[in-house]
Amino acid sequence: MINMFDPLEIRKHFPIFERFQRDGIVYLDNAATTQKPSEVINAIVNYYENSNSNVHRGVYRIGEEATDLYNRSRENIARFIGGTPEGTIFVRNATEALNLAASSLTRMLGGEGEVLVTRMEHHSNIVPWQIASSVSGIRLRMMESHTDRPLKWEDIEKDITGKTKIVSVTHVSNLLGTINDLREVGKNLHDLGIIFIVDAAQSVPHMPVNVNDLECDLLAFSGHKMLAPSGIGVLYGKPELLDRMPPYMGGGEMIKEVFEDHFTAADIPEKFEAGTPNIEGAIGLSAAVDFLKNLGMDNVRNHEKDLISYTLRREQEMNMPSLISYGPRDPEVRGGIYAFNIRKKDGGDRPFGNEVHPHDISHLADRIEGVELRSGHHCAMPQTVSLGVYATARASFYIYNTRDDVDHLFDVIGKIERRMIK
């Protein structure tokens, strides 16, 4: 049990921090994936060393143990988000969850209707709908959203038409860090008979999230962004909706009976879990949930709020005209994500402008100071393009980051500017 929220104490649970310390690495790419604590690693190792066998079918001892571990993991994860086990479907990641939703809902809706998303979506909440519209009458529409404030019900409301069947929005932007205001959205959409989907890949790991408070129909998140291994994620759904949705993939585990010309689907959640599942992933995600529950999700959020406040304050103190960052300035509506560019509008003789390419920023930050940043469009091209750039550099924080890490970030930003801007 970790009582005080102390990032340096938390680090002791993460074996990789021994290497980080040895090599002087400051890991700031947590929106891409997080590090894994011993508790998670050990849970997976323990499963393989003591209980490995396939789930659901074996009536022998370790088969029952594996099934029990898998089921209890599901119950634990469901409780963590305020959901029910039958509404908690294991998938590979949030991307697969949203693909499942798009494919299945398209068929449920008879291939008709309009899907509304925002411009701040990750590609995984855009492309599955574009694929759906290429094979059916489903139409995708991108509503207006702002880069300096959260999306609110009023923003969504004005884009809804009689054809709107689904509204699918991100809870927290992986580029701007915006925490969208989704209160009332679910209730209002349900009054209109519209399905409400939340991409929670950047919120479930970082703040208390409860599917009942959000009143969402479906919610997607990834395990690897919250201390768990890669290859495990969740699509949460309201059981009454999941019951109506047709299966996504066919195969073992998802059927009741198979005949020569048809099948009957299993009940939820198995209906959506074809094939042998990622058993160790589910166990690892459950251990990650325990680790986070121990810390307290309110504490996690407060810690990241402190880091982003400090980041925005340090940025202001730097007073560096060539440093441009994006997203809301109010830490109350901002997650621990800081995307930026280093560019000067004028000066320099280069034919292509006086700016530092984000790839050079992250390459230099690594080589100069061991600061690990991500660069590119962060799988949010429509949002990136709307900022008038083709890429940004991004720092993103988690439970083991400190104000000291933020200081390293700004040290290296200063050094890169001196190296690159003429």
Partner 1 sequence: MSDDIIYSAIIDEHYEEPRNFGKIEDPDEDIMETNPTCGDTIAMYLRLGDGKIREIKYVARGCLISVASASILSERVSGKDVSEVLKMSKNDILSYLGLDLGPAREKCALLSYDALIKMLRKYEKEAKK
Q: Would you please indicate which residues are annotated as catalytic (active-site) residues?
A: 379
Q: Which residues pair with 371 in a beta bridge?
A: 26
Q: Which is nearer to partner 1, 97 or 412 (CB)?
A: 412
Q: 306: helix, coil or strand? A: helix
Q: How many CA atoms lie within 13 A of 294 on its CB side?
A: 15
Dihedral sign computed on CA atoms, order 207, 210, 213, 214: positive
DSSP of 129-192: HHHHHHHSEEEEEEEP--SSS---HHHHHTT--TTEEEEEEESB-TTT-BB---TTHHHHHHHT
Return the number of other C-beta atoms located less than 10 Å from residue 112's C-beta: 12
The set of residues, in sequence order, having a beta carbon less than 8 Å from that of 122 and lying 6+ positions away, is 94, 170, 174, 199, 201, 378, 379, 380
Q: In 246-368, at which residue ranges do the beta strands (DSSP E only) sit? A: 255-258, 263-265, 323-325, 337-344, 354-356
Q: Least distance from C-beta 419 to partner 1, angstroms?
A: 8
Q: Which is nearer to partner 1, 295 or 421 (CB)?
A: 421
The residues that touch partner 1, with contacts defined as CB under 8 A, are 349-352, 357-360, 363-364, 367-368, 375-377, 384, 390-391, 419-420, 422
DSSP at 226 = G
Q: Least distance from C-beta 227 to partner 1, angstroms?
A: 25
Q: Least distance from C-beta 295 to partner 1, angstroms?
A: 33
Q: Which is nearer to partner 1, 107 or 363 (CB)?
A: 363
User: What does the chain come to in residues?
Assistant: 422
The Cα–Cα gap between 337 and 279 comes to 31
Q: Which is nearer to partner 1, 89 or 420 (CB)?
A: 420
The encoded tokens of residue 188 equal 């209002």
Cα end-to-end distance, the chain, whole Å: 51
Q: 314: helix, coil or strand? A: helix
The Cα–Cα gap between 373 and 396 comes to 8
Q: Least distance from C-beta 95 to partner 1, angstroms?
A: 17
The set of residues, in sequence order, having a beta carbon less than 8 Å from that of 319 and lying 6+ positions away, is none
Q: Least distance from C-beta 360 to partner 1, angstroms?
A: 5
Q: Which is nearer to partner 1, 158 or 350 (CB)?
A: 350
Q: Least distance from C-beta 381 to partner 1, angstroms?
A: 8
**Among all chains, which residue has been given the structure tokens 């849970």?**
43
Q: Least distance from C-beta 224 to partner 1, angstroms?
A: 19
